[in-house]
Amino acid sequence: MPQTLILHTSSATGITLRPLHPAIGAEVAGLDLAGPLTGPMLEVLHDALIERGVLLLRGQRALPASLAHGLAALELPLRAQALHQPAPSLPLKVGPTPDLPPPGAVRGPFWHADRSYAAKPALACLMRAATSDGEIAFADQRRALLLLPVGLRNRLESLRALHASPRNPGARAEHPLLRRHPETGEPSLYANPAFTTRILNLPADESRRLLETLFAAATAESLVWRHSWQAGDVLIWDNRSVLHTAGGAGCEALRIDGDQPVGLIADEMPWVVAG
């Protein structure tokens, strides 16, 4: 897709969005994060993040906490309307250590969703590069689900998997293999090679084979956008609908926590609000 194609432009905010990949990502132009962030600006960013999964802003002098607080604040009314859980405060953790491969791990892409081994994994993540070094990649899990046969997709609706941290044996949680986005209702695949260790209620061999199939779909090259870091790059991604590789050394990070994965089964997630 040509980079000159414009997804969105707003004279009110000065923001222009351009696609980064046919399947995922948008570059945000016309916004300096060091300046004041108005409500309309945050709404444009939030909506683009939900639609495209990943946002790139170049040449940024800072990664302000106000940006993450503003994006979190836009989520609060949506959490309050969800019927499956009470409205949480979406706690913001500033400058956490990104999820990294454990010591001695085999080299290769560390595909994961941040803190999927927690009961409430990260909702969204923000990262700024201080130097021009390294690469990060993203894969759209909404489209990954569509790569699977319909029969398999139907089977996955009732299956759950165990996610565990390779660095902390006590950090583990069970999540549905298909996750419904709390804002759009759109389903996505929710399994990753770094942290998803076992499909529950299946024999070990069958679980292993099925996870291999799911991981292959989750990281299919047609779904992947790769980015080489340049100093001042800021990336924001929706941790509910994309996987990513390790973030890179020397990056500032912000993480919005508080979103609980819920599956597609109606009695598990009555996400439609009547009236």
Mean pLDDT confidence for 148-156: 97
pLDDT confidence of residue 77: 65
How do beta strands 251-257 and 122-129 pair? antiparallel
Mean pLDDT confidence for 28-49: 94
Q: Between 267 and 208, name the one with better pLDDT.
A: 208
Rama region for 67: left / alpha / beta (φ>0; ψ in -120 to 50; rest): alpha
Residue 138: pLDDT band by 50, 70, 90 thresholds?
very high
Q: Do 91 and 258 touch, CB atoms closer than 8 A?
A: yes
Query: What is the C-alpha to C-alpha distance for residues 236 and 248, in angstroms, rounded to an integer?
Result: 14
Query: What is the C-alpha to C-alpha distance for residues 144 and 198, in angstroms, rounded to an integer?
Result: 19
Q: Is 64 helix (H, G, I), strand (E, B) or coil?
A: coil
Query: What is the C-alpha to C-alpha distance for residues 198 and 176, in angstroms, rounded to an integer?
Result: 12
Residue 92: pLDDT band by 50, 70, 90 thresholds?
low
Residue 251: pLDDT band by 50, 70, 90 thresholds?
confident
pLDDT at 175 over 90: yes
**Which residue shows structure tokens 């800021």?**
234
* Number of Cβ atoms within 10 Å of the Cβ of 77: 9
Residue 104: pLDDT band by 50, 70, 90 thresholds?
confident
- Delineate the domains of the chain, giving CATH numbers in brackets: 8-257 (3.60.130.10)
User: What is the DSSP secondary-structure string of 96-119?
Assistant: PPPP-PPTTPPSS---B-TTTTSS
Residue 100: pLDDT band by 50, 70, 90 thresholds?
confident
State the Cα torsion 71-171-246-126 to the nearest 10°.
Answer: 10
Sign of CA dihedral 79, 136, 61, 5: negative
Distance from chain centroid for Cα 270:
22
pLDDT at 83 over 90: no
Highest mean pLDDT among 48-57, 62-71, 95-104: 48-57
Percent of the chain with pLDDT over 90: 68
**Which residue shows structure tokens 């990260």?**
122
Q: Between 118 and 249, name the one with better pLDDT.
A: 118
Query: What is the C-alpha to C-alpha distance for residues 163 and 60, in angstroms, rounded to an integer?
Result: 34
Q: Do 170 and 53 touch, CB atoms closer than 8 A?
A: no
Q: State how far the alpha carbon of 193 is from the alpha carbons of 11, 157, 214, 215, in Å.
A: 42, 19, 9, 6
CB neighbour list of residue 203: distance below 8 Å, 6 or more residues apart: none
Q: Is 239 helix (H, G, I), strand (E, B) or coil?
A: coil
Residue 2: pLDDT band by 50, 70, 90 thresholds?
very low
Percent of the chain with pLDDT over 70: 84
Mean pLDDT confidence for 46-73: 94
pLDDT at 53 over 90: yes
Residue 11: pLDDT band by 50, 70, 90 thresholds?
low
pLDDT at 202 over 90: yes
Residue-averaged pLDDT of the chain: 87
pLDDT confidence of residue 13: 80
